[in-house]
Structure 1
Amino acid sequence: MFFIDVAKIVDDEWPKVAALLDEAETARAARFAFESDRLAYVAAHALLRASLSGRAKGIAPAAWRFGVTSHGKPFLLSPLTGLDVSLSHTRGMAAVAIASGRDVGVDVESFLRPRDALKVAERFFAPEEAAIVRAQSDPQSQSEVFFAIWTLKEAVLKADGRGLAGGLDSFVVNLSPLAVSSDSGDSYGVEQWRRAGFFIAAAARGDDVNFRLRETHAAALIEAADSFEA
């Protein structure tokens, strides 16, 4: 698990960070209407490439090729390493998850942005989860609990591979202790962190799951690319 605080990337670092993306990613980034969304996208994809190269020694960040499933989950086309990947980005933050031999998902969201948390929870969450949001004493607390649940559910659905098509109310997440329960019998390990106004959540298929979250900076991304050009 890796994350990068987009606000910490300074102006003269952005061209070098963006250079890690391939042609298709660069074209996709250019289509974002808002600069903050574009920068988060660039940071996430650069982070994924550099993190993969840190995991699979000897493979340059530019060498990775990705496909996307019909539900939007990215996967490695080449080199074939047996690694599963997931990435998430929102304005100000990006995160990636990499796992060997198991499905993995990650989601990141700001819990400071305004949202009608209770209304959305009552419409899309399982009844038990909506009740937790409803029980909070003020709108800010409702928003924080809402995004705590939302990011965990998104991470599970990304690991599952179906994304939101899998149904936010098709399983229940528990916040204390962190756990997932589902009538389908699928088992997921989950973890969650708070960083600078954001929730970062991860999920992986199976029970014996251990996550480690590391912060990465732009200098490390640039160094990863430069090491293959020397």
Structure 2
Amino acid sequence: MFYVDVAAIDADAWPTLVALLDDAEAARAARFAFDADRRAYVAAHALLRARLCARATGIAPADWRFGATTHGKPFLLSPLTDVDVSLSHTRGMAAVAIASGRDIGVDVECYSKPRNALKVAERYFAPEEAEVVRRQRDPVLQNEAFFAIWTLKESVLKADGRGLAGGLDSFVVNLSPLAVSSGSGESYSVAQWRRGGFFISAAARGGDANFRIEEMRAGALLEAARIV
């Protein structure tokens, strides 16, 4: 697990980070209407490519090729490996997960952004999860509980490749201790961190995953890509 504080990246670093992307990614980045969204997208994709380069010598950042499943989960097309990847970005933060031999998912959200937390939880969460949000009387704590659950659920859905098509209420996450209950009998390992005003959550298919998280600053991100 790696993350980067998008707001901490100097303005003069962005052209270099964009150069790490392939043509399709660069074109998509250019279509964002707002700089904050564009930078979060660029940071996530540059971070993923840089970290893949750190695992495999002799491959330029822009040479990695990706496909996507029908539900939007990215996967490596070239070079062919047993590595599974996931990435997530929101204004101010980007995160990626890379795992060998197992399916992985990551999600990041700012837990201080306004949201009618209880209404959304009652509509989309499992009843047990909505009750966790409901028990928080303070709106700030209610928002935090909502996003703690939301990011865990998103990471699980990304790990199994379904995305939101899998249904947020098709399984239950527990915050203390962190756990996933699935009616299908599928097992998942999950982890969660707070970084600044953000939750970063990760999930892996199967038990006993060893999660580690590391911040990459802009200088380290560029160095990892071997372009400084």
TM-score bracket relative to the smaller structure? over 0.9
Equivalent residue runs for 1:27-46 within 5 Å: 27-46=27-46
CA deviation vs aligned residue, 1:29-85 (integer Å, no higher than 9, x gap): 011111100000000000000011112233221220000111000000000121000
Q: Which runs of 5+ in 2 are unaligned?
A: none
Scaled by the length of structure 1, the TM-score of the pair is 0.97
Q: Which residue of 2 aligns with 1:176?
A: 176
Distance in 2, Cα, partners of 1:127 & 1:84: 32
Corresponding residue number in structure 1 for 2:24? 24
Counterpart for residue 113 of structure 1? 113
| Structure 1 residue aligned with 2:58 | 58
Cα pair 2:22 2:63 within 8 Å, conserved:
no
Contact 2:53-2:225 within 8 A present in 1 as well: no
Q: CA deviation at 1:223?
A: 1.9
Question: Post-superposition shift, 1:190?
Answer: 0.1
Deviation at 1:219, TM superposition (A): 1.3
Partners of 1:210 and 1:85 in 2: CA distance? 15
What letter is aligned with 2:37? D
Paired residue secondary structure (1:210):
coil
Residue identity opposite 1:21 in structure 2:
L
Post-superposition offset of 1:211:
0.4
Alignment check: 8 A CA contact 2:4 2:217 kept: yes
Question: How many residues get paired?
Answer: 228
1:220 CA drift (Å): 2.0
Contact (CA 8 Å) 2:72, 2:163: kept in 1 or not? yes
Write the distance in 2 (CA, Å) between the matches of 1:183 and 1:224: 41
Q: Percent identity?
A: 75
Q: Where do residues 136-147 of structure 1 align in structure 2 (5 Å cutoff)?
A: 136-147=136-147
The 5 Å alignment of 1:1-230 reads 1-227=1-227
Structure 1 residue 103: Cα displacement: 0.4
The amino acid across from 2:52 in the alignment is L
Q: Secondary structure at the match of 1:7?
A: helix
1:17 touches 1:218 (CA, 8 Å); kept in 2? Answer: no
For structure 1, list consecutive stretches of 5 or more residues without a partner in the other structure: none
Partner secondary structure for residue 153 of structure 1: helix
TM-score by length of 2: 0.98
